[in-house]
Chains A and B, each alone.
Chain A
């Protein structure tokens, strides 16, 4: 790999030197008709390269993309994303074609006069109004999805979980039997009370602190985010979920897990992606990888920002209940 790199470098430097030598004799500065011709053709060639690169990337790289949304709320996200992408690619394909085609077609010829065409209100009206209408549609659907995701006032019997960030560890706290989190502040941090839970709060004692997130399938989960030091961002890409964790305030996000971890592992896109990953890992002699949902940090937070993660397990409600029962409450941990 590195060899190719140095060869590339060498080629560029060689071109450089050769050209610098010629600059002293050539002294050519203004495009001639011959240049116009060559460069115009090169634009056509570049246009082909451009489309080839686009098609190549989509064919080659679509396998690395995230599989379908693992949350119910993310379904609309995926639909909106698809619509937007189709629109983008449509406009991209047409405008870039026109750009490269015009550059090729109208390359300068001596003696030809360009068309004096300075204005057309009709044309300008067309390309003001059409984008405006299209955008209005996108905005409306976008706002619908946004409000659907962010408005959690109508959630019925949601599960409340606190996700707690610090350099470079995630922790979490379930609200316990009363489904209400006890208040907390960094000033209470002491010993094993790593999240600064206020033990004098009656809601606090049944809270369950954990280092791995388990979520029940089909039940809405409301996440409350806190950070004890710098900004972090709780990013759960498979669920189309992200929210910053801000010291001094509590932020929130909610979604309803749609597929258990097992179901997601059986998803065809996941299987293809995991197969690709394991092929690479086998070449490097590493253990095979098994798919898991993840929580990553997505806001620069210091040296180990790149390795701040927590595993998420989505399971059937019964399994989840059994799991949470097996965990100690704050009161039990701190005794």
Chain B
């Protein structure tokens, strides 16, 4: 393959590329674009939450007929939270994060010339692209986009009579998601096959960097759970368009009885959360993998408890598929199931605790190199702990009763999977930018980006727990209908100010990212003095990754500061010395 030179046109190199490195950049740029839209939406609805009756020119400018004199309509508010959730969870943190770094790093870190199937990989990206376009088109539908929440529970999502967004907007949402799932499955299958079959000589599974372990396990959960969401989406399409009653029964709306009989919305909830919960880990595990790699490299220390880290990834992945019911404690399902799901859910705290303590021990007595990627990784550990701990409240069926669907939940999952995963993504971008673009990102801007974001993220989500504990339900257009909630208004204003600060800080990142692509300092081959294989490839991208033979691997990825070596890193390609033991 590498010695077969075929001429590349602009189209095959930049558009329909089958090179994993280019596809990874395509995923990243698309993900960033969607991220900008998703974050901007959150700015708009945070304005509404903080100042419900206030007129904003920015709302008037962007929401067209869905606002009145600068105040958004309740339906548009719900649409914004729905599409914000959908875009951030699927388009940014699933495709943008996994798509970017699995594609970039799997071949480079296992020593392969490309993915097992470059063609499927290309198809995967373009399906993602098409689904993004459809999702964006749905924003311009006359009655407004899907607005039943990102969980699209029927009957609300099934009946256009129930809300305007459940008409064409919802149809487009479902079509977009069906295509997205196809894209995700093709990607995941490719990752699994590549990791299993294309590792270079000496790259035993037990020598893989933790990034690869995380991507590999993530892909497996994706393959197991995404098809279930696809089936739920298809059945919902049937109910909406062909008159079946999978999820609907005994409905009287707008003065008439509908024909549906015998279905159950609870069935949909089961199908949705069978993906929905593993999805949390599809989002989070790659971020944790990236962080493991970056913390170890920048601490100049081996990751502590490599095998335990792999074990905990596998344990989390396995448990994640049997805990979906903790989203449904008050759905009306049998209380006995609630007990079972409480048990399995709280078990996840154990591997999560192991991971957290292993990160802390990795930092201990390290020689920390405070690169921007390292700051975001440390930030991730902090938000992962803060957000993860409140899972003890929500995962416990008894305690969930009173905080279910309140802002407490919003604060919890934004910290543990939203902010943490985004930190992981930022860390990855700062760390592997030289590998992607051959240039470095500016560190000073990186520092500003991190510190403003870190202050803003806690400023938003820490007080938000109290709003939830005061009993304010999520997805409320305004708290003005209840004098009981008059005293959370001030907290909401504080939250919104921090949210805008945090949102604005991303401008720093965007400037840094796009300017560095063209003007950044030229990268050296191994800028972070890292052990892994991707840093043995030339800075300039070539098809097939290595100009000559693929290097062989002789050790694990984490021989940092190993006694007996002069340098504080030992590449995986360095053979063991006489009498040296592999760690």
Assembly CA distance A62 to B488 (angstroms): 11
Assembly CA distance A118 to B402 (angstroms): 43
Closest chain A residue to B564, Cβ basis = A116
Contacts of A108 in B (CB 8 A): 300, 367-370
Chain A residues numbered 29-65 whose CB sits less than 8 Å from any CB in chain B: 29-31, 35-36, 38-40, 42-43, 46, 49-50, 53-54, 57, 61-65
Contacts of A183 in B (CB 8 A): none
Contact check, B497 vs A303: say whether CB atoms are below 8 A apart: no
Contacts of A127 in B (CB 8 A): 353-354, 357
Contacts of B369 in A (CB 8 A): 31, 36, 108
Contacts of A113 in B (CB 8 A): 300, 367, 561, 568
Contacts of B304 in A (CB 8 A): 117-120
Contact check, A102 vs B360: say whether CB atoms are below 8 A apart: yes
Contact check, B504 vs A12: say whether CB atoms are below 8 A apart: yes
Contact check, A66 vs B469: say whether CB atoms are below 8 A apart: yes
Closest chain A residue to B561, Cβ basis = A114
Contacts of B156 in A (CB 8 A): 230-231, 300-302
Contact check, A19 vs B367: say whether CB atoms are below 8 A apart: no
Instruction: Confirm or deny: B481 has a beta carbon within 8 angstroms of a beta carbon on chain A.
Output: yes
Contact check, B353 vs A5: say whether CB atoms are below 8 A apart: no
Contacts of B306 in A (CB 8 A): 118-119
Q: How far is the CB of A305 from chain B (nearest CB, A)?
A: 6
Chain B residues numbered 518-565 whose CB sits less than 8 Å from any CB in chain A: 519-521, 527-528, 558, 560-563
Assembly CA distance A248 to B374 (angstroms): 52
Contact check, B163 vs A302: say whether CB atoms are below 8 A apart: yes
Contact check, A281 vs B486: say whether CB atoms are below 8 A apart: yes
Given A29-B440, A64-B487, A95-B360, are A146 and B397 neighbors across the interface (CB < 8 Å)?
Answer: yes
Contact check, B360 vs A280: say whether CB atoms are below 8 A apart: no
Contacts of A302 in B (CB 8 A): 78, 156, 162-163
Assembly CA distance A165 to B58 (angstroms): 36
Contact check, A230 vs B342: say whether CB atoms are below 8 A apart: no
Contacts of B117 in A (CB 8 A): none
Size of B's binding interface in residues, CB under 8 A: 149
Contacts of A300 in B (CB 8 A): 78, 148-149, 153, 156, 475
Contact check, A143 vs B469: say whether CB atoms are below 8 A apart: no
Assembly CA distance A36 to B173 (angstroms): 46
Given A115-B301, A246-B266, are A49 and B455 neighbors across the interface (CB < 8 Å)?
Answer: yes
Given A135-B349, A246-B331, are A92 and B386 neighbors across the interface (CB < 8 Å)?
Answer: yes
Contacts of B28 in A (CB 8 A): none
Closest chain B residue to A119, Cβ basis = B305
Contact check, B335 vs A64: say whether CB atoms are below 8 A apart: no
Q: How far is the CB of A75 from chain B (nearest CB, A)?
A: 12
Scan A101-127; emit 1 where CB is below 8 A from any B CB, else 0: 011001111001111111110011001
Assembly CA distance A53 to B347 (angstroms): 30
Contact check, A230 vs B471: say whether CB atoms are below 8 A apart: no
Contact check, B330 vs A244: say whether CB atoms are below 8 A apart: yes
Contacts of A320 in B (CB 8 A): none
Stretch of B6-14, B197-205, B222-230, B257-265 with 4 or more beta carbons under 8 angstroms from chain A = B257-265
Q: How far is the CB of B65 from chain A (nearest CB, A)?
A: 15
Contact check, B463 vs A57: say whether CB atoms are below 8 A apart: yes
Given A88-B390, A186-B251, A249-B264, are A27 and B378 neighbors across the interface (CB < 8 Å)?
Answer: no
Instruction: Confirm or deny: A81 has a beta carbon within 8 angstroms of a beta carbon on chain B.
Output: yes
Q: Which of A115, A189, A235, A296 contacts B252 (CB 8 A)?
A: A189
Contact check, B476 vs A305: say whether CB atoms are below 8 A apart: yes
Stretch of B94-102, B106-114, B131-139, B508-516 with 4 or more beta carbons under 8 angstroms from chain A = B508-516
Q: How far is the CB of A32 from chain B (nearest CB, A)?
A: 9
Scan A279-322; emit 1 where CB is below 8 A from any B CB, else 0: 01100001001000010111111111111010000000000000
Contact check, B560 vs A116: say whether CB atoms are below 8 A apart: yes
Q: Which of B308, B354, B365, B393 contacts A115 (CB 8 A)?
A: B365
Assembly CA distance A114 to B350 (angstroms): 28
Contact check, B493 vs A186: say whether CB atoms are below 8 A apart: no
* Beyond known contacts A8-B500, A299-B153: 19 more, CB 8 A cutoff: A23-B515, A29-B442, A31-B371, A53-B459, A65-B466, A84-B392, A98-B360, A119-B304, A131-B350, A143-B342, A186-B251, A230-B253, A231-B156, A233-B404, A235-B473, A244-B331, A249-B266, A281-B486, A300-B156
What are 24 of the A-B contact pairs (CB < 8 Å)? A1-B493, A19-B442, A23-B516, A30-B527, A30-B528, A38-B370, A43-B378, A91-B385, A107-B368, A131-B350, A139-B396, A143-B342, A146-B339, A229-B159, A229-B252, A235-B405, A235-B471, A237-B471, A241-B401, A248-B249, A273-B487, A294-B484, A300-B148, A305-B78
Q: Which 8 A-B pairs have the closest CB atoms?
A: A248-B249, A29-B440, A39-B370, A251-B332, A237-B471, A150-B335, A307-B481, A186-B252
B contacts, CB < 8 Å to A: 51, 54, 73-75, 78, 148-149, 153-156, 159, 162-163, 248-253, 257, 261-266, 299-308, 330-332, 335, 338-339, 342-343, 346-347, 349-350, 353-354, 356-361, 363-371, 374-375, 378, 381-382, 385-386, 389-390, 392-393, 396-399, 401-402, 404-406, 440-445, 447-448, 451-452, 454-455, 458-459, 462-463, 465-467, 469-471, 473, 475-479, 481-484, 486-491, 493, 497, 500-501, 504-505, 507-508, 511-512, 515-516, 519-521, 527-528, 558, 560-563, 568, 583
